[in-house]
Amino acid sequence: MKLAYVGLGANLGDREAMIRRAAGLIGAIRLSPIVETEPWGYADQPMFLNAVAEVDTPLPALALLGHLLDVERRLGRDRSGPRFGPRTIDLDLLLYGDEQISAPGLEVPHPRLLERRFVLEPLAALVPALKIPGNGTVSEALAGIQSSS
Ligand code: X6L
Ligand code: MG
Ligand code: MG
Protein backbone atom coordinates (compact mmCIF):
# COMPACT_ATOMS: atom_id res chain seq x y z
CA MET A 1 0.00 0.00 0.00
CA LYS A 2 1.12 3.54 -0.77
CA LEU A 3 0.02 6.84 0.71
CA ALA A 4 -0.85 9.18 -2.13
CA TYR A 5 -2.11 12.78 -2.19
CA VAL A 6 -4.69 13.91 -4.73
CA GLY A 7 -5.60 17.51 -5.51
CA LEU A 8 -9.32 18.14 -6.03
CA GLY A 9 -10.75 21.19 -7.78
CA ALA A 10 -14.26 22.15 -8.93
CA ASN A 11 -15.86 25.31 -10.30
CA LEU A 12 -19.07 24.16 -11.98
CA GLY A 13 -22.34 22.93 -10.47
CA ASP A 14 -22.54 21.99 -6.78
CA ARG A 15 -18.81 22.35 -6.18
CA GLU A 16 -18.75 21.07 -2.59
CA ALA A 17 -20.88 18.04 -3.46
CA MET A 18 -18.53 17.24 -6.35
CA ILE A 19 -15.46 17.43 -4.11
CA ARG A 20 -17.07 15.23 -1.43
CA ARG A 21 -18.38 12.68 -3.92
CA ALA A 22 -15.00 12.46 -5.64
CA ALA A 23 -13.26 12.03 -2.28
CA GLY A 24 -15.59 9.12 -1.53
CA LEU A 25 -15.12 7.52 -4.95
CA ILE A 26 -11.32 7.62 -4.71
CA GLY A 27 -11.40 6.12 -1.20
CA ALA A 28 -9.96 9.12 0.62
CA ILE A 29 -8.99 8.34 4.20
CA ARG A 30 -8.65 12.06 5.01
CA LEU A 31 -9.85 15.22 3.29
CA SER A 32 -8.31 18.63 3.94
CA PRO A 33 -10.44 21.69 4.59
CA ILE A 34 -12.14 22.84 1.37
CA VAL A 35 -10.96 26.33 0.35
CA GLU A 36 -12.43 28.80 -2.13
CA THR A 37 -9.81 30.14 -4.55
CA GLU A 38 -9.45 32.59 -7.44
CA PRO A 39 -9.24 30.93 -10.86
CA TRP A 40 -5.74 30.66 -12.32
CA GLY A 41 -4.59 30.08 -15.87
CA TYR A 42 -7.87 31.15 -17.49
CA ALA A 43 -9.23 34.11 -15.59
CA ASP A 44 -12.80 34.54 -16.87
CA GLN A 45 -14.43 31.63 -15.06
CA PRO A 46 -16.13 30.97 -11.68
CA MET A 47 -14.27 30.70 -8.37
CA PHE A 48 -12.93 27.25 -7.49
CA LEU A 49 -13.24 25.07 -4.46
CA ASN A 50 -10.00 23.17 -3.85
CA ALA A 51 -8.99 20.45 -1.40
CA VAL A 52 -6.48 17.63 -1.04
CA ALA A 53 -7.30 14.00 -0.24
CA GLU A 54 -5.07 11.39 1.36
CA VAL A 55 -5.48 7.96 -0.21
CA ASP A 56 -3.96 4.67 0.99
CA THR A 57 -3.87 2.70 -2.23
CA PRO A 58 -2.87 -0.77 -3.39
CA LEU A 59 -2.69 0.48 -6.99
CA PRO A 60 0.50 1.24 -8.91
CA ALA A 61 0.78 4.94 -9.77
CA LEU A 62 -0.38 4.63 -13.41
CA ALA A 63 -3.39 2.54 -12.40
CA LEU A 64 -4.26 5.09 -9.70
CA LEU A 65 -4.07 7.84 -12.34
CA GLY A 66 -6.39 5.81 -14.58
CA HIS A 67 -8.83 5.49 -11.70
CA LEU A 68 -8.74 9.26 -11.06
CA LEU A 69 -9.51 9.97 -14.73
CA ASP A 70 -12.35 7.45 -14.59
CA VAL A 71 -13.87 9.14 -11.53
CA GLU A 72 -13.56 12.52 -13.33
CA ARG A 73 -15.57 11.10 -16.23
CA ARG A 74 -18.18 9.57 -13.92
CA LEU A 75 -18.66 13.00 -12.31
CA GLY A 76 -19.31 14.63 -15.65
CA ARG A 77 -15.90 16.06 -16.53
CA ASP A 78 -16.12 17.45 -20.04
CA ARG A 79 -12.71 18.05 -21.61
CA SER A 80 -14.06 19.64 -24.82
CA GLY A 81 -13.69 23.25 -23.56
CA PRO A 82 -10.55 25.37 -23.14
CA ARG A 83 -7.58 23.58 -21.54
CA PHE A 84 -7.65 25.57 -18.29
CA GLY A 85 -11.38 26.30 -18.38
CA PRO A 86 -14.18 25.44 -15.96
CA ARG A 87 -14.70 21.85 -14.76
CA THR A 88 -17.12 19.89 -12.59
CA ILE A 89 -14.16 18.07 -11.04
CA ASP A 90 -10.41 17.87 -11.51
CA LEU A 91 -8.35 15.18 -9.80
CA ASP A 92 -4.56 15.55 -9.91
CA LEU A 93 -2.10 13.02 -8.57
CA LEU A 94 0.26 15.19 -6.53
CA LEU A 95 2.40 12.73 -4.58
CA TYR A 96 2.73 8.93 -4.59
CA GLY A 97 4.61 7.70 -1.56
CA ASP A 98 8.14 9.08 -1.79
CA GLU A 99 8.42 8.21 -5.48
CA GLN A 100 9.55 10.37 -8.37
CA ILE A 101 7.87 9.23 -11.56
CA SER A 102 8.27 10.48 -15.13
CA ALA A 103 6.09 8.58 -17.56
CA PRO A 104 3.97 9.54 -20.56
CA GLY A 105 0.94 11.29 -19.03
CA LEU A 106 2.23 11.19 -15.47
CA GLU A 107 4.80 13.25 -13.58
CA VAL A 108 5.07 12.86 -9.82
CA PRO A 109 5.53 15.01 -7.79
CA HIS A 110 3.06 17.07 -9.81
CA PRO A 111 5.25 19.47 -11.85
CA ARG A 112 3.31 22.60 -10.77
CA LEU A 113 2.88 21.60 -7.13
CA LEU A 114 5.45 24.08 -5.82
CA GLU A 115 3.81 27.06 -7.58
CA ARG A 116 0.19 26.65 -6.54
CA ARG A 117 -1.07 27.94 -3.24
CA PHE A 118 -4.49 26.41 -3.93
CA VAL A 119 -2.78 22.99 -3.73
CA LEU A 120 -0.03 23.57 -1.15
CA GLU A 121 -2.33 25.19 1.43
CA PRO A 122 -4.75 22.24 1.73
CA LEU A 123 -1.84 19.78 1.44
CA ALA A 124 -0.09 21.57 4.32
CA ALA A 125 -3.25 21.21 6.42
CA LEU A 126 -2.85 17.41 6.13
CA VAL A 127 0.91 16.82 6.08
CA PRO A 128 2.96 19.97 6.80
CA ALA A 129 6.14 18.02 7.58
CA LEU A 130 5.96 15.68 4.59
CA LYS A 131 9.06 15.76 2.39
CA ILE A 132 8.37 16.50 -1.29
CA PRO A 133 10.75 14.23 -3.24
CA GLY A 134 13.51 16.37 -4.71
CA ASN A 135 12.56 19.34 -2.52
CA GLY A 136 11.94 20.39 1.07
CA THR A 137 8.83 19.89 3.16
CA VAL A 138 5.30 20.93 2.24
CA SER A 139 5.47 23.76 4.83
CA GLU A 140 8.71 25.05 3.36
CA ALA A 141 7.19 24.99 -0.13
CA LEU A 142 4.15 26.95 1.08
CA ALA A 143 6.37 29.50 2.81
CA GLY A 144 8.28 29.88 -0.47
CA ILE A 145 5.21 31.06 -2.36
CA GLN A 146 4.63 34.81 -2.56
CA SER A 147 1.15 35.60 -3.88
CA SER A 148 0.70 33.13 -6.71
CA SER A 149 -2.06 30.58 -6.47
C1 X6L B 1 0.19 31.84 -16.68
C2 X6L B 1 -0.21 30.80 -17.49
C3 X6L B 1 -0.08 31.77 -15.34
C4 X6L B 1 -0.85 29.70 -16.96
C5 X6L B 1 -0.73 30.69 -14.80
C6 X6L B 1 -2.03 28.35 -13.69
C7 X6L B 1 -2.36 27.52 -15.88
C8 X6L B 1 -2.75 27.29 -13.19
C9 X6L B 1 -3.09 26.46 -15.37
C10 X6L B 1 -1.12 29.65 -15.62
C11 X6L B 1 -1.84 28.49 -15.05
C12 X6L B 1 -3.29 26.35 -14.04
C13 X6L B 1 -7.49 25.39 -10.93
C14 X6L B 1 -7.34 26.75 -11.25
C15 X6L B 1 -6.95 25.57 -12.99
C16 X6L B 1 -7.84 25.05 -9.61
C17 X6L B 1 -7.85 27.38 -9.08
C18 X6L B 1 -4.07 25.23 -13.47
C19 X6L B 1 -4.94 24.39 -14.35
N20 X6L B 1 -7.22 24.67 -12.03
N21 X6L B 1 -7.52 27.75 -10.34
N22 X6L B 1 -6.99 26.83 -12.53
N23 X6L B 1 -8.01 26.07 -8.73
N24 X6L B 1 -8.02 28.31 -8.15
O25 X6L B 1 -7.99 23.88 -9.24
O26 X6L B 1 -4.02 24.96 -12.30
S27 X6L B 1 -6.49 25.18 -14.61
MG1 MG C 1 -5.53 20.69 -11.80
MG1 MG D 1 -6.05 17.72 -13.92
Exposure string over 109-127, b if 16+ CB within 10 A, otherwise e? bbeebbebbbbbbbbbbbb
Residue 123 Cα to ligand 3 midpoint, Å, equals 16
Per-residue pLDDT of the chain (149 residues; tens, 9 = 90+): 999 999 999 999 999 999 999 999 999 999 999 999 999 999 899 999 999 999 999 999 999 999 999 999 999 999 999 999 999 999 999 999 999 999 999 999 999 999 999 999 999 999 999 999 999 999 999 999 975 55
CATH of the domain at 88: 3.30.70.560
Exposure string over 56-70, b if 16+ CB within 10 A, otherwise e? ebebebeebbebbee
Domain range for residue 102? 2-148
Q: Which of 34, 47, 84 to mutate to test the pocket of ligand 1 (most atoms within 8 A of CB)?
A: 84
pTM, whole model, 2 decimals? 0.97
Task: Please indicate whether residue 21 is annotated as part of the active site.
Answer: no
Structurally, the chain folds into a number of domains equal to: 1
- Catalytic pick from 44, 73, 87, 112? 87
DSSP 100: -
Task: Please indicate whether residue 98 is annotated as part of the active site.
Answer: no
